[in-house]
Amino acid sequence: MDTVSDFLKEKRMAETTPKITAMENGPYQVVGDVPLVRKTPVKTGQGEPISWQTGETIETESAYYLCRCGASNRKPFCDGTHRQIGFDGTETADANDISSRQTDYPGTDIVVKNDGSLCIHAGFCANEISNVWQMTQDSSDSDVRAQIMKMVDQCPSGSLAYALEAGGNTVEIELPKEIALLPDSAMWVTGGIPVVRSDGAPCEVRNRVTLCRCGASKNKPFCDGSHEESGFTEG
């Protein structure tokens, strides 16, 4: 870097480019004017989730800190409680790309891909009658295939994905660059916002990622559905 102005330009860029950093045993630092919203699943009369509804937009500064220990009294924001409770935010998630963990379920003109380590139990993968794994066996029927795609597209964590052929690229729908708080559950990060672990290692940049905000995940920084057992509530 040649001049002070180059340095300042680079610093400004770093502050305005969307990014999430897990702080050591502390909150997520969010920079770059990332919108913070609430999203709730839309369910059928039988209680099956079928799509997402966007609710309130929460006012924030350009940079803000979101609680990831689950104990803040000002959720979703950090209030420093992580220090009093001795929060251990050590990341244990496999740092390899998702492709190294995915199991393929080939059908007709579709291959469903599953990485169970990222599942947050959102439930879009099944209904009263069937589930995407079973349905893949009937995917020569284009209606069934379209239904599988729709179900997989709603999976917030990207635990489920699909390609159109073996070895083909994963198909992703366009999602906004934002953070959505799911009810008494994870933070849903969409649009390929980079996430950096507290040890400085960057996570694979993906279109949809769900981060733990209850503090109980065994796959930090990602949510693994532990909020159900820990009884996490927004408070």
Give the residues lining the site for ligand FES (CB under 6 A). Answer: 26-27, 67-69, 71-72, 78-82
Parallel, antiparallel or unpaired: strands 49-58 and 36-43:
antiparallel
In sequence order, what are the beta bridge partners of 111?
Answer: 106, 163
The runs of H, that is alpha helices, within the chain are 4-16, 81-85, 132-136, 142-154, 226-230
Comparison of 105 and 232: residue with beta carbon closer to ligand FES: 232
Residues 15 and 25: their CA atoms lie apart, in Å, by: 22
Asked if residues 56 and 63 have their Cβ atoms less than 8 Å apart, the reply is: no
Minimum separation from the CB atom of position 40 to ligand FES (A): 23
Comparison of 76 and 158: residue with beta carbon closer to ligand FES: 76
Comparison of 70 and 225: residue with beta carbon closer to ligand FES: 70
Comparison of 136 and 185: residue with beta carbon closer to ligand FES: 185
Residues 185 and 136: their CA atoms lie apart, in Å, by: 28
Minimum separation from the CB atom of position 71 to ligand FES (A): 5
Coil, helix or strand at residue 80 = coil
Residues 172 and 144: their CA atoms lie apart, in Å, by: 18
Asked if residues 213 and 225 have their Cβ atoms less than 8 Å apart, the reply is: no
Comparison of 31 and 175: residue with beta carbon closer to ligand FES: 31
